[in-house]
Amino acid sequence: MSQPHVVHTIPDIRAAVLRARAEAGAKGVGSPRVAFVPTMGALHDGHIALVRRAREIADVVVVSIFVNPLQFGDPNDLEKYPRTLDADVAALDGAGADLVFAPSGEDMYPSGPPATRVTGGDVSMRFEGKTRRGHFDGVLTVVSKLFYIVQPDVAVFGQKDAQQVFLVKQMVRDLDMPLTIEVLDTVREKDGLAMSSRNRRLDARERTAALALFRALDAAASAADRGIDASLAAAQAALMGENGVELDYLAIIDPATFRPVDDGHRGAATVIIAAQVGATRLIDNETVYFG
C-alpha cells in the first residue's frame, strides 16, 4: 500500500472509481466492493482507523476530504476549520486508501448553496441540531451527494458522531440508497479523550478540562445498575466544579430512536454529552447497558 491517488473533480472521481472496480475485477475479484470514508480532513488516528476498517471489508477504498460549508452556521467556525490536504494525504500513506476525492466548493456547489436539501426530520432538530440549526441538513445533503458521486457499496463512519450516524442510517433506509453503513467504535486518546479534529484547538489547560466529558460518561456507566436517573446524576456530579467546561446537554437516549429513555428503560442506551471547553465545542458518547 502507498499514498492514494488524489482527484479533485466529480467526473474524475467517477471515472477513477469505475477504473478501480474494473482493475479489482480483472484480478479475479468476483464482485468488487467499494468502501467510502467521508471526512472534512484534518485527519487523526480516528479517521485512519475508519480507513483501515474500510480496507478490511472492501476491494477499493475512497476517502473524501471536503470542508462542507452547508453544515456550518457560524462563518467564523467555517473559516477556522483546518484545511491540511497535503498532510492528510501523507497521513493516509499505507492506511489502505486507493483514492482521495478532494473537491473545491465550486466543484460540489457550482451554482452556490443548493436549493434542494436533505432534511433529517425531528431528530435532526434535537441535541446537536438544537444548538446548531441546519447543521444536520447540511451534513445529510453533502453525504447524499457524495454517495451518489462515489457509488460505494459500504460507507464507514465513527460512533463519536452518534447523532450524525443515526441520521445517515435513517437517510439510507428512507431513500432506499443501495449501500450499507458500518460504524466503528470511538477512537480515544490514552487518557480517554475522544479523538477529534477540534482537539487541536485546545490549549494545555483546556485539554485537561476536556477530560471531564469522558469522566462523566464513565460515571454514568458505573451507576447504570441503579437506573437511568442515577446514571444521569452520577454523570452530572462528575462535571461539577470543572472550570472552563460549560455543559450544553447530557442525556441518555434509545439508540433505535435517538430519543431520551425513561427511568424504567432496560437494555442498551447511549449516553450523549456536549460541552463548550474554552472556545471549542466537544461531543462524546458511550453505550451503557441497564439491567
Residues 34, 140 within the same domain? yes
Position 50 in a domain = yes
How does residue 76 score in pLDDT terms, banded at 50, 70 and 90? confident
**Residue 192 resides in a domain:** no
The pLDDT assigned to 226 comes to 95
Given a contact cutoff of 8 angstroms between Cβ atoms, the answer to whether 65 and 150 are in contact is: no
The reply to whether 191 falls in a domain is no
162 and 262: one domain? Answer: no
> Can you give the CATH number for the domain in which 215 is found?
3.30.1300.10
Domain boundary residue, one of 184, 206, 230 = 184
CATH number at residue 134: 3.40.50.620
Rounded Cα distance, 284 and 271, in Å: 8
Of 107 and 76, the structure prediction assigns the larger pLDDT to 107
Specify whether 202 is located in the same domain as 178: no
pLDDT of residue 28: 80
| 98 and 234 together in one domain | no
**53 and 83 belong to one structural domain:** yes
Split into its structural domains, the chain has a count of 2
177 and 201 part of one domain: no
Shared domain check, 274 and 248:
yes
- Do 53 and 88 lie in one domain? The reply is yes
Please pick, among 5, 44, 47, 265, the residue that the annotation labels catalytic. 47
> Do 171 and 205 lie in a common domain?
no
Q: Which of 142, 158, 184 is the last residue before a domain boundary?
A: 184
Could you tell me if residue 189 is inside a domain?
no
Query: What is the domain range of residue 246?
Result: 197-286
Q: Across residues 131-138, what is the average pLDDT? A: 94
Instruction: Quote the percentage of the chain above a pLDDT of 70.
Output: 100
190 located within any domain: no
Per-residue pLDDT reduced to its tens digit, 152-176: 999 999 999 999 999 999 999 999 9
What is the model's pLDDT at position 1?
57
| 129 and 40 both lie in a single domain | yes
47 tagged catalytic: yes
Full-prediction pTM beyond 0.85?
yes
| pLDDT tens digits for range 6-47 | 999 999 999 999 999 999 999 887 889 999 999 999 999 999
**Whether 153 and 79 share a structural domain:** yes
Is 122 domain-assigned? Answer: yes
Whether 119 and 211 map to the same domain: the answer is no
pLDDT of residue 136: 97
